[in-house]
Chains A and B, each alone.
Chain A
Amino acid sequence: MHPALLGLVTIIIGVSACIGYFYFSNLFLDKVLFPGKGPNAGRNINRANHVRPWLFLAPAIFALGLYLGYPVIETLRLSLTDRSQDGAFVGFANYQQMLAEPKFWEAMRNNLLWLIVVPAASTAFGLLAAQLTDRIAWGNLAKSLVFMPMAISFVGASVIFKLIYDTRPEDKAQIGLLNAIWVQFEGGAMSVLFLQVLPIVIIFLFAALVAYAGYIIFRPALSGGSGNLVLAARVASAALALYLIWLSLESILGIATAELPYGEPKAWLTVPFFNNFFLMVVLIWIQTGFAMVILSAALRGIPEETIEAAIIDGANPLQIFFRIKVPQIIPTITVVWTTITLVVLKVFDIVFAMTNGQWQTQVLANYMFDKLFRANDWGVGSASAIVIMILVSPILAWNVWNARKEMS
């Protein structure tokens, strides 16, 4: 049968089967099993109403259990077995094998980089876009244009950015935008200004921001009076902030002393370490619109009075933004951050389409795909899937905890 016809038939059968199931099961419940007439009418209606929710829920519970619940258990089991030995139980051998592979550690390092850079950059750009477009007449148009990449597939976006990163030999015209700009720099004062001074200033500002945030978070710990858990979290964030500042200072030193090969076109995706950032740009480009939409709604939800009071007290726009608005939307920022973190943990298409993990750009999801379908090693593949699951689980727990709190 032609696939389109098959699709149409499936839609009709699927949808009418669903509707039919719900209709007839309800009919059966009310008319045959527990008829709402006769001697036991009252008791039967009660009984029917006890059963009915499960009729409504049954297909969903079945599908969720089979397609999301069962795989978690099964993957855990598979990660402890070896396919080539007929699924014999091998304990943690798959994990040991995985931990011994440099490619796995490369994927872990890159995933950590992605986890720090992409949510931070997307949220920051999203917040900036939300704040800026809030005030102007054509803000909605600007928003929908920044939001547009959300509709573009990761694969499509990869093609788009591969064109930007394209490299031609030195004697030909550069058709990739990045190289076309790059070969304009000849090493004069402007080059130093744009490629060294400007990045240093930006990284320095980033480091200063991190230092300030770290100080704000850590300050209450000095005065004491909070629980051990909170204290530990504060110390941990301060340590992370110190680490980020250290990284920033290191890169400032690196940029200041670098000898840039001016004039030569570069194959950007093959430059180790930095190519990760070129891949991250794709996801940041996509996710900024998402962050902007949510944060923009949050900014509009801030009570006017708080801002008016700040204006009367003589606060300047920057103070209003950082000290009045941002603190009030911290919960929303956290939501955006964690949602993007989830996307990052599962990022596969971009790496697969652009580098396929070559030139030290491997990430966990692509590593797993490699193991599954190229190496045909289901044991290690499952083990790496479990690693992704472990990384996701804190967010899972946090979400469930929040949802329960909201409902009770």
Chain B
Amino acid sequence: MQSIAGSKSSLTWAVHISVVVMVVLWLIPTVGLFVSSFRTADQISTSGWWASLFPAEQNVVARAADPDENRVADGRMFIVSGNLFDGEDKTISVWGTSSRAIDIYVAGDTADLGDGETITVQANGDYEWRGNDEQIAGRGQRVFATVTAPPEFTLANYDKMLFDEVNVDGMAKAFFNTLTVTIPATIIPIVIAAFAAYALAWMDFPGRALLIACVVGLLVVPLQLALIPLLKLHLGIGIGKGYLGIWLAHTGFGLPLAIYLLRNYMVGLPRDIIENAKVDSATDFQIFVKIILPLSFPALASFAIFQFLWTWNDLLVAKVFLIDATGQTTVMTNQITDLLGTRGGNWEILATAAFISIAVPLAVFFAMQRYLVRGILAGSVK
């Protein structure tokens, strides 16, 4: 493909640029939320998140230190000196001493305040205010400045959403609940499906083809159909709404894909190994546990990731089978949709909450992408 004669170099550039454009387009939404979660409510509501990546220009009012406490004598004059921003990293471009003229001096200028009183302000905010006993008294001199502040980010949102125990919007409990739902709902279907997949792949019995066809059919049954009957069933047999119910539901809904993926993988394992083991009078159970399971690790991992992402990100099943009126068992996705309703404009809360729930799947995704890709390739019905 590299050998398309003549047009190679210009075409390669076009390809590079298109890919960059596409990647940027696909990344920007997530980056926007990510950046917003590190900004204060005030910053978010006054400028777009993209502005926070660059130094921002803003107008500030600062006051020189209290002269009665800080002035030092210099002959007959008194001097107050210090930094307007307490050492914060801001750069003054223009400034003034009255709200009507905030830009008449540039950094480094000395302003004449009349009768020999002066104030000098440097670009970094250092000032020197001098005058006689009467002038350097009362309150500190006000300075109106146009400053360039560097990007400023905070972890306060995460602190508040995760570790603040009085915060009713906090995500800590929901995070924990999600974890409680996810782990059993990932492990149990794997165990059940592995045995079934082995039977469908390596055991000969009447009706096998029909069962496989059933599994393929059930792969696409929309789970919307299952909501009412199963909720009725759960309420009827006393499980009610709760963790047990959602574990069972996720197990049921995850099984077709699990069986399908694992069976397709196991069928491809070399026949010799299994037949040799049989000759050595190993039972099916031993073959399964000692040979098939270890060899099927890639397929098991693929399905585990699928099921983990699906149960972690699920909203519908949790709403139907888990979350009751007390709200004690809310999961993160549900908590976020609630916040969207009650805190619609508070982007620092929404962005942080969303990112807390996104972070774990993203970590899993980047760590185990290889298995996810393999699972997707094997799982799409061909």
Residues of A at the B interface (CB closer than 8 Å) are 3-4, 6-7, 10-11, 14-15, 18-19, 22-23, 26, 30, 49-50, 52-54, 56-57, 59-61, 63-64, 66-72, 74-75, 78, 125, 128-129, 132-136, 139, 142, 144-164, 166, 172-177, 180, 285, 288-290, 293-294, 297, 307, 311, 316-317, 320, 331-332, 335-336, 338-339, 342, 345-346, 348-349, 352-353, 365, 368-369, 372-373, 378, 381-382, 385-386, 388-389, 392, 395-396, 399-400, 402-404, 406-408
Contact = CB atoms under 8 A, between A and B. Distances in A.
A302 B214 CA distance: 32
Interface size bracket, B side: 35 or more
Interface of B: 1-5, 7, 11-12, 15-16, 18-19, 22-23, 26-30, 32-33, 36, 44-50, 176-177, 179-180, 183-184, 187-188, 191-193, 195-196, 198-200, 203-205, 208-209, 211-230, 232-233, 243-244, 247-249, 251-253, 255-256, 259, 283-285, 288, 309, 312-316, 319-320, 329, 333, 336-337, 340, 347, 350-351, 353-355, 357-358, 361-362, 364-366, 369, 372-373, 376-377, 380-382
Contacts of A6: 180, 243
Contacts of A172: 45
A288 B22 CA distance: 11
A161 B32 CA distance: 9
A56 B198 contact: yes
A165 to B, nearest CB: 11
Contact of A67 (B1, B48, B230): B230
A365 B369 CA distance: 30
Nearest to B340: A353
Contact of B333 (A74, A155, A173, A403): A155
B309 A154 contact: no
B315 A368 contact: no
A317 B44 CA distance: 46
A15 B188 contact: yes
A158 B350 CA distance: 11
Given A3-B177, A71-B227, A403-B216, 6 more contacts: A147-B373, A150-B309, A155-B336, A163-B33, A338-B381, A406-B382
B376 A293 contact: yes
What DSSP secondary structure best describes chain A's contact surface? Answer: helix
18 contacts: A30-B283, A56-B195, A57-B195, A71-B225, A147-B373, A150-B309, A151-B358, A153-B313, A153-B358, A155-B333, A155-B354, A159-B353, A311-B5, A352-B315, A353-B336, A353-B337, A381-B228, A402-B381
B73 to A, nearest CB: 47
A52 B284 CA distance: 9
B315 A348 contact: yes
Contacts of A22: 195, 285
B155 to A, nearest CB: 19
